[in-house]
Amino acid sequence: MTRLTADDFDPEVLKLFDGYVHGQLSRRDFLSRAGRYAVGGATAATLLAQLSPSFAAPLVAPLDARLKTSYQEYPSPQGYGKLRGYLAMPAEAKGKLPAVLVVHENRGLNPHIEDVTRRLALEGFIAFAPDALFPLGGYPGDEDKARALFPKLDQAKTRADFVAAFDMLSKLPQATGKVGVVGFCWGGGMANYLATQLPALAAAVPFYGAQPAAADVPRIKAPLLIHDAAKDERILAGWPAYEAALKASNIAYQHFVYAGTEHGFNNDTTPRYDEAAAKLAWSRTVAFFKDKLA
């Protein structure tokens, strides 16, 4: 079966889907507006199903013998009180390892983000991915249900939970104490936020994430590796102000915009995935962490 790509969809459908994914359109509104672009016997519901994630083929199997994985709970006194996340590390680690905090999209800790966490562990890191939805019962196993839960979170408490996750990782007995963060979409925005809050953060890699307020940028101490999609008008609209603030504060950053790509291009469970761009962005990310967390 041929894999669908973003090129198989009308650009307007992709914009509508982006609006639906990020809470700007209801499911009903998406179906109503997307119907005019359905051709060849397809329906708006078909388009939505085709654009939605499929978790059938993870890159790294959950039971890969090269890794040790587990679910860990940790306290967050300023947040919801307790959070849970997915921890992955090499099974045969020699000595202490640097750590990477992995921050999911706006659907919680789904199978794709667990896969990304395992990928980082195979590169020699301790990787930990908290589930922001844990206080609401955790990732529900359904993307639409997860997306509906997300606005119910108290964002101030959720931010505190991720600060607590950083603190936990920095003190983990198996870790060196050096911690980086990588985040995707909502998680990219969280990576940017954490960079403004954590002077000890060693590196931050936001993938197509919302930028922090310019007034908060001078607090950033970590070097940044920023990945954006060329067709992501929503996120790119905030880049000029962010770049100006970074330059004004002499903050080390690299910014890559991947030609022809859509928001979410790194997520290999959806048609918006761009294999060439994702592989390049990933190789840059791993090299960046190996350099900055050494």
Q: Does the pLDDT value for residue 269 go beyond 80?
A: yes
Residue 58 placed within a domain? no
Residue 16's domain comprises 6-51
My answer on whether 12 and 138 are in the same domain is no
- Model pLDDT for residues 60-102, shown as the tens digit of each residue: 999 999 999 999 999 999 999 999 999 999 999 889 999 999 9
Q: How confident is the model at residue 25 (pLDDT cuts 50, 70, 90)?
A: confident
150 residue type, one letter: F
Torsion angle defined by CA atoms of residues 23, 258, 121 and 219, in that order, rounded to the nearest 10 degrees: -70
Identify the top-confidence range among 6-10, 13-17, 50-54, 74-78.
74-78
Residue 46 placed within a domain? yes
My answer on whether 19 and 128 are in the same domain is no
What confidence score (pLDDT) does residue 229 get?
Answer: 98
Residues labelled catalytic: 185, 232, 263
Calpha distance 64→183 (Å, rounded): 23
My answer on whether 94 and 14 are in the same domain is no
Q: Does the pLDDT value for residue 219 go beyond 70?
A: yes
My answer on whether 36 and 81 are in the same domain is no
DSSP track, 208-271: S-PPPPGGGGGG--S-EEEEEETT-HHHHTTHHHHHHHHHHTT--EEEEEETTPPTTTT-TTST
Of 66-70, 147-151, 216-220, 226-230, minimum mean pLDDT range: 147-151
My answer on whether 208 and 235 are in the same domain is yes
My answer on whether 94 and 141 are in the same domain is yes
Residue 231 placed within a domain? yes
Element (H, E) at 34: helix 27-34
Predicted model pTM: 0.93
My answer on whether 104 and 11 are in the same domain is no
Q: Does the pLDDT value for residue 275 go beyond 80?
A: yes
